[in-house]
Amino acid sequence: MAASVARHAVAGLRPYLNPAVADNAELLVSELVTNSVRHAGLPDEASIEFSVRASAEVLMVEVADAGQGFESIGSPRPRIVSGVAEPSGWGLFLVDRISDRWGAVQMDGETRVWFELRPGAQAMVG
């Protein structure tokens, strides 16, 4: 459910975004929130934060949680997980391949993963 809430929030910006940017933003925010839900080791009552910032040049999305974090070694790539029919690890792989820039920061007990897409928001017609 958390991923659908994030997708819906980003979809609200669709009228102001380049259509390809809007599609990619919805996909990538969904992947990052899903990563937090599945891999952060959060208790059920924990929250996942996300923020969206848009300008005429760039759309930036950031997802944050207080989970255990992760180690990033080299370029993210999918991997086979024993007992799972589909390869795992597509989230950061997609973020790496689709976004124009992305990164992750771990500090003060929190992990923040962000991405940028260009061209960002188109000028609002008023």
Distance separating alpha carbons of residues 50 and 73, to the nearest angstrom = 24
Question: Across residues 93-104, what is the average pLDDT?
Answer: 91
Cite the beta strand spans of 12-93 per DSSP E.
49-54, 59-65
For 10-35, the three-class secondary structure string (H helix, E strand, C coil) is HHCCHHHECHHHHHHHHHHHHHHHHH
| pLDDT-wise least confident of 4-8, 37-41, 74-78, 103-107 | 74-78
Half-sphere exposure of residue 122: CA atoms within 13 angstroms, side-chain side: 11
pLDDT tens digit string along 41-93? Answer: 777 777 888 899 988 889 999 998 887 666 654 455 545 444 444 555 677 88
Q: Which structural domains are found in the chain, ordered by start?
A: 2-117 (3.30.565.10)
